[in-house]
Amino acid sequence: MLLNKWKLIIIFIQTINQSICVDLNNITEKDVDKLQMEYRDMNYVIFVKHPYYIKSHDEENFCPVPYSHVVDYAEISYEGIELIDRSLMIVVYNCVAEKKYKLAYMIFLNAIESMAFTYMYRFCEFAIEMNKRCAEISFYLKVFSDKLTELIPIINREWISPEPYECILDVYENHKSEKYKFNEENENYRNDLLGCMNLMKDKVNFLREAKNETINEMTISKLDRYHNMNYQVINYRLTLKKYSPALKHITGDKNQTSCIICKTEHSGNIWDIYFFSPWAMAGAAICVLAILKHVLYVIN
């Protein structure tokens, strides 16, 4: 069934070694460099003003921490770092030059979060407008499904809230009787998508990307071009490099886990949480087989 491949397996494993362990209380320059290498194409996006990601109080600017679970701190001071009309690469470079590694890391993750949510938000806009015009979206839905399959591991891997994409999954699961054409007006379907958009509305358009247009009066052909522009932005910018490890463990926050390969102690329960995608499990299986082969060789 279409959209079934969106469903990734979430497995919780206790005390297992991990290839990446990022301590949020002690972010290093190496952690920032690794993040930039893993999302190399993100470095060239340009920041614009945004009330959610650039908060001001007490005469200082702050950025939020994007994690979807409870953390020890909810925001980090910019401390004079300029964002507006600068590329992500330059902003991160300036943070690193001043040894503000935690700030650099959070700004980068906020950029990932905003770009992913903006893509999903714009698809919901597109789907709603197409339904108003009784236009079939089965082809576009498949393309969106394919891209979302790539985005979900990134969202889970970086501990960004899964609530928006889970909402979209539920919409299409609840309306699956329409056979994914949605070429008849359906107010309940549109209202459900509006509910998903509401989850993301405060976080969209942090980055300068596709031109912002009013789509209410667009023709179907222009809606098609608008949707394609949205797809191209996410396709060329937010991509996890193939050589990047599939799993990430982040520690150092309240109600989060300790890392068994880290040297320092952290607060929270001792639980290691992993997100597996099918290709990640395939890689893990290869590693297990290699270890077993080595063990058998030693025994013999």
Please state the rounded mean pLDDT for residues 183-191: 89
SS3 67: strand
pLDDT at 212: 66
pLDDT at 176: 79
Domain carrying residue 130: 22-243
Please state the rounded mean pLDDT for residues 17-24: 61
Instruction: Tell me the β-bridge partners of 52.
Output: none
Whole-Å CA distances, 139 to 80, 135, 173, 227, 262: 47, 11, 17, 12, 47
Q: 214 in a domain, yes or no? A: yes
pLDDT-derived band at 123, boundaries 50, 70, 90: very high
Q: 237 in a domain, yes or no? A: yes
Instruction: Tell me the β-bridge partners of 21.
Output: 249
Residue 165 has pLDDT above 90, yes or no: yes
**Cα end-to-end distance, the chain, whole Å:** 48
pLDDT-derived band at 115, boundaries 50, 70, 90: very high
Q: What is the 3-state secondary structure (H, E, C) of 226-251?
A: HHHHHHHHHHHHCCCCCCCCCCCEEE
Other beta carbons within 10 Å of 209: 22
Residue 281 has pLDDT above 70, yes or no: no
pLDDT at 286: 42
Name the pTM for this structure: 0.78
Q: 233 in a domain, yes or no? A: yes
Please state the rounded mean pLDDT for residues 22-28: 81
Whole-Å CA distances, 289 to 62, 292, 294: 47, 5, 9
pLDDT-derived band at 179, boundaries 50, 70, 90: low
Q: 266 in a domain, yes or no? A: no
81 vs 97: CA distance, rounded Å: 11
pLDDT at 9: 34
pLDDT at 183: 80
Q: 137 in a domain, yes or no? A: yes
The rounded percent of the chain whose pLDDT value lies above 70 is 72
Residue 74 has pLDDT above 70, yes or no: yes
Q: 282 in a domain, yes or no? A: no
Secondary structure E strands in 65-122: 75-77
> How confident is the model over 194-232, as pLDDT tens digits?
999 999 999 998 887 766 667 777 888 888 888 888 888
pLDDT at 180: 65
Q: 3 in a domain, yes or no? A: no
The rounded mean pLDDT for the chain is 76
21 vs 15: CA distance, rounded Å: 13
Residue 159 has pLDDT above 50, yes or no: yes
Q: 169 in a domain, yes or no? A: yes
Longest dimension (CA), the chain: 74
The residue among 22 and 31 whose pLDDT is bigger is: 31
Please state the rounded mean pLDDT for residues 100-126: 93
Query: Pseudo-torsion of CA 62, 65, 70, 72, nearest 10°?
Result: -60
DSSP secondary structure code for residue 79 in this structure = T
pLDDT at 11: 30
pLDDT at 157: 84
The residue among 286 and 113 whose pLDDT is bigger is: 113
Residue 73 has pLDDT above 80, yes or no: no
Based on the structure, what is the number of domains in the chain?
A: 1
> How confident is the model over 270-279, as pLDDT tens digits?
333 333 333 3
Please state the rounded mean pLDDT for residues 115-143: 91
Residue 230 identity = N
